[in-house]
Structure 1
Amino acid sequence: MSVTLSISKSSIATIELDRQSVHNAFDAQTIAKLIETIEYANTLPIRALVLKSAGKHFSAGADLAWMKSMADNDFAKNLADSKQLAKLMFLLANVAVPTLCLVQGAAFGGAVGLIACCDIAISTPDAKFCLSEVKLGLIPAVISPYVIKAMGERQARRYFLTAEVFKANTALEMGLIHQVSDDLTLCADGILQAIINNGPCAVMAAKTLIKEVAGQTIDQTLTDLTAERIATIRVSAEGQEGLSAFFEKRAPSWQN
């Protein structure tokens, strides 16, 4: 299978892309399988979701054979195909639990979109990134909302237009990734452990809060919303358990 899902004992879901013969490039079938897998993972009682790829490279982006076939299709077929990719990006960006992307080797084109859709991204020092679409006379349209949000408009003005390859340290500086590590597994384990040490409902609520607050004007509506959010979670079962555990100097129930 090109896309697999595994669940650890600590309720961490891992989606792995394995099309090493084409550097983990994705085609229509791979996109459909990723959509199906993410939708299924969303129904499970998981604490986090990890997105990774097998082999030397995270992903070369769109499969060349698939791109060639799409070039021969009319506008309607291209639109339907593009909407599937848009659905994948939206689903990944809106997974309820924290998402973590592990990047090694090349991450080109649409692969940068997958990275940007995840809450947290880490890469190896030798990882290389490229928004390569304009080299082919195309544009990174579907992934643009997520990539621009991750790297910022100013950086997008350079890398969308030049299709330059940039290294891990540059990706780190612009905010596309959060950390560079020689050992992705060890680094990921530390991040995931930090997540599962926290209240599961609180973590999901905090993720929702970011979406509700980011980019909003700080006015009475927003301050009322944030006051309501903290009041709601304080009186929740998890909030009560967390506060009780803190004052009683014991581990909360979700750590047992």
Structure 2
Amino acid sequence: MYETLEIVVAQGVATIWMNRPDVHNAFNAQLIADITAACRQLDADDAVRVVVLAGRGKSFSAGADLNWMKAAGEASVEANLADARKLAGMLRTLSEMRKPTIARVQGAALGGGMGLASACDICVASDKAVFATSEVKFGIIPSAISPYVIRAIGERQSYRYFQSAERISAQRAGEIGLAHEVVAAEELDAKVGEIVTALLQGGPKSQGAAKDLIRAVANRPVSDEVVEDTAQRIAGLRATPEAKEGLDAFLSKRPAAWVSAQ
């Protein structure tokens, strides 16, 4: 269905494979459009519980395709703005999926590739992975990816890496919070599978609500408004069929319906 992607769905898990290995899964207009459409399609599919984003070949994604960047540099401001909006929209669509998302990073995740890894809820990296916000080397800035990278590594680390464009090893990515797990290359799929198994135990609607909760609470002072918002959220969820099923399953010592359905 998608020119630049291969999508594999099995047992509630959809893997979006970026499939431009000859150019290290670099972004162009088609890849941006395909990822956006695939995320929307999978988010609307109740049979899909978890989404894994991965890259065919040696690299996860090497960022923007150089030919695409060159063409953009020769285009009008209006055309550049339209392209930038599509890239920003794709990252936001990925970030705001209701379902848990995992970046499976086996190799280079540079520029926009680091943005993709940061926009996913969870990042699992091979010890051979390498990251960078390399944009300043090309006279530009990591603008569209900045909300997600800053969220992942914090302002302090961003001041360094946005300006230096240094390569970030997998070990360093783990230290600064970009990668949740760093494992040997041959253990990458097993670790992704381990996290997927844990995610499949949770209620689908509660996981989406948990993501909304983080966005609502993060980086805000504990004000009366925030406290009331958290109370309203849990009170509303307790009465839902999913919450009732989860509690009944626990008390009955049986798998919840969403677990046994897989």
Common topology (TM > 0.5):
yes
CA contact (8 A) 2:103 2:117 kept: yes
Distance 2:50 2:169 in 1: 27
Matched, 1:123 2:125: yes
SS of 1:152's equivalent in the other structure is helix
Q: Please, which of 193, 212, 222 is the counterpart of residue 208 of structure 1?
A: 212
**Seq. identity, %:** 42
Q: Deviations for 1:9-34, whole angstroms, at most 9, x for unmatched residues?
A: x2111111011111111111111111
Deviation of 1:76 (Å): 0.9
1:43 aligns with 2:44: yes
Tell me by how many angstroms 1:203 deviates. 1.5
Q: Which residue of 2 aligns with 1:186?
A: 190
The answer to whether structure 1 residue 81 and structure 2 residue 103 are counterparts is no
2: CA distance, partners of 1:255 / 1:73:
51
Residue 143 (structure 2) pairs with residue 141 (structure 1): yes
Match for residue 168 of structure 2? 166
Per the TM alignment, residue 4 of structure 1 is displaced from its structure 2 partner at its CA by 2.0
Residue identity opposite 1:37 in structure 2: A
* Equivalent position of 1:56 in the other structure: 58
What CA distance in whole angstroms lies between the structure 2 residues aligned with 1:107 and 1:255?
Answer: 33
- Is this contact kept in 1: 2:132–2:161, CA < 8 A? yes
> In the alignment, does 2:72 pair up with 1:70?
yes
- Give the letter for the 1:241 counterpart: E
Deviations 1:113-161 (A, max 9, x none): 1011000001100111111111111111111111111111100111100
Q: Distance in 2 between matches of 1:179 and 1:38?
A: 23
Compute the displacement of 1:229 (Å): 1.4
Secondary structure, in 3 states, of the residue corresponding to 1:164? coil
Asked whether 1:252 is paired with 2:256, we answer yes
Specify the code of the residue in structure 2 equivalent to 1:14: T
Show CA shifts across 1:154-200 (max 9, x none). Answer: 00111100111110011111111100112221111110110111222
Consecutive aligned runs of 4 or more in structure 1 exceeding 4 Å deviation: none
TM-score normalised to structure 1 length: 0.96
Tell me whether 45-54 or 220-229 shows the greater mean CA deviation.
Answer: 220-229
1:224 is aligned to 228
CA shift at 1:69, angstroms? 0.9
SS in structure 2 at match of 1:24: coil
Q: Which amino acid aligns with 1:116?
A: S
CA distance in 1, matches of 2:248, 2:76: 62
1:65 deviates by 0.8
SS at match of 2:63: coil
Q: 1:31-67, CA deviations, whole angstroms, 9 ceiling, x for partnerless residues?
A: 1111111121121112111100011111111001111
Q: Unaligned 5+ residue runs, structure 1?
A: none
| Residue in 2 that maps onto 1:97 | 99
1:40 and 1:231 map into 2 onto residues whose CA distance is 30
Q: Which residue of 2 aligns with 1:195?
A: 199
Cα distance change, pair 39–254 in 1 and its aligned pair in 2 (3 A): closer
Structure 1 counterpart of 2:109? 107
Q: Provide the C-alpha distance between the structure 2 equivalents of 1:189 and 1:158, rounded to a whole number of angstroms.
A: 33
Moved more, 197-206 or 111-120: 197-206
**What's the Cα RMSD here?**
1.1
Contact 2:4/2:30, CA 8 A, preserved across alignment: no
Distance 1:222 1:230 in 2: 13
The one-letter code sitting in structure 2 at the alignment partner of 1:94 is E
